[in-house]
């Protein structure tokens, strides 16, 4: 196998999860020579604005995808929730490895539970999806925008006027944070996760047969089926960072996939949610999008996309 160059965002989390994936590859072939090339994306440069106001999650992958097209790197290791639902022609998701916990982590000062937060308490999140779901269940709370890496957000929690923050649990796990810091993990009945949350997407050139054969050895087909249902829903709904959209699929013992899709207004006042079960992930993603569109969810998406 030739020497491989991996493209990764420069953030501590991105570099850590890239190295963890490289370690998986080296466990299969210890002789592999792999180096990481750090790439600063537009999303990394813009830290003072909400992602929904500056173009959404594609901001974290476009520069890295260009490096693939330019043959500067061989593969990119993305957090799948950052990857738009349409992959450019010539590129492919070469594998979806094991998924980390997909839920959100709620972290509060003095571990005050979500339901016990006093009226007017401030919950920090940069996600419209999280904010909408929290406001729907707890309209007495206030959502305040927050960005930065895990360390930055935790520092803001304890030193600024936040009473709690919500982060992706997967990032905390991958960075080795103790469960002790988390007040509670919010399951899908409280907070439907982001599309692909907790999963990685390994992107490479579609014609790189040698690399694709290697990646197949660390591919998790069950996880791939789950995120395919989720990402199909995202694509069909024309979802983006401007839209509070969530989706979560699991596989049961008999191979049946259960998929739940969610669309909301940012203020939490309108909610469209539907769950289906079946074996074909693409069909499930489309079925949920059809039901939600019939209910009127696409009107929300259209209005929000036009606003932005």
Pairwise CA distance, residues 74 & 70, whole Å: 10
Residues catalogued as catalytic = 82
Q: Other CB atoms closer than 10 Å to residue 119's CB: what's the count?
A: 9
Q: Which DSSP letter does residue 89 get?
A: T
Contact present, 16 and 85 (Cβ < 8 Å): no
Pairwise CA distance, residues 192 & 111, whole Å: 22
- Which segments within the chain are labelled E, that is strand? 4-9, 34-39, 75-79, 91-95, 104-108, 122-124, 142-144, 164-168, 184-186, 200-205, 245-251, 257-264, 271-278
Is 128 strand, coil or helix?
A: helix
Pairwise CA distance, residues 130 & 111, whole Å: 19
Pairwise CA distance, residues 22 & 288, whole Å: 36
3-state SS, 156-184, equals HHHHCCCCEEEEEHHHHHHCCCCHHHCCE
Token pair 């995808």 in the structure block, residue? 65
Contact present, 246 and 195 (Cβ < 8 Å): yes
């Amino acid at each position: 196998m030739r020497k491989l160059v991996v493209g990764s965002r420069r953030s501590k989390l991105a570099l850590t999860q890239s190295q963890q994936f490289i370690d998986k590859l080296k466990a299969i072939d210890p002789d592999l020579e792999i180096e990481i090339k750090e790439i600063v994306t537009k999303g990394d440069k813009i830290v003072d604005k909400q992602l929904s106001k500056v173009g959404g999650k594609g901001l974290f992958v476009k520069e890295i995808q260009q490096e693939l097209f330019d043959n500067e790197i061989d593969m990119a290791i993305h957090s799948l929730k950052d990857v738009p639902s349409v992959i450019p022609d010539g590129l492919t998701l070469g594998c979806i490895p094991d998924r980390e916990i997909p839920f959100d982590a709620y972290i509060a000062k003095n571990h005050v539970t979500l339901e016990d937060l006093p009226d007017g308490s401030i919950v920090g999140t940069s996600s419209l999806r999280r904010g909408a779901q929290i406001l729907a269940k707890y309209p007495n709370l206030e959502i305040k925008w927050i960005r930065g890496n895990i360390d930055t957000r935790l520092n803001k929690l304890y030193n600024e006027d936040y009473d709690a923050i919500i982060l992706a649990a997967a990032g905390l796990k991958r960075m080795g944070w103790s469960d002790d810091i988390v007040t509670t993990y919010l399951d899908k009945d409280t907070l439907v996760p982001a599309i692909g949350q907790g999963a990685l997407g390994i992107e490479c050139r579609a014609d790189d047969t040698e690399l694709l054969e290697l990646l197949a050895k660390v591919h998790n087909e069950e996880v791939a089926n789950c995120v395919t249902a989720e990402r199909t829903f995202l694509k069909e709904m024309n979802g983006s960072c401007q839209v509070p959209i969530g989706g979560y699929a699991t596989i049961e013992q008999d191979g049946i996939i259960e998929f739940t899709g969610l669309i909301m207004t940012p203020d939490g006042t309108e909610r469209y949610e539907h769950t289906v079960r079946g074996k074909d992930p693409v069909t499930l993603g489309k079925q949920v999008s059809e039901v939600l569109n019939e209910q009127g969810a696409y009107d929300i998406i259209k209005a929000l996309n036009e606003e932005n």
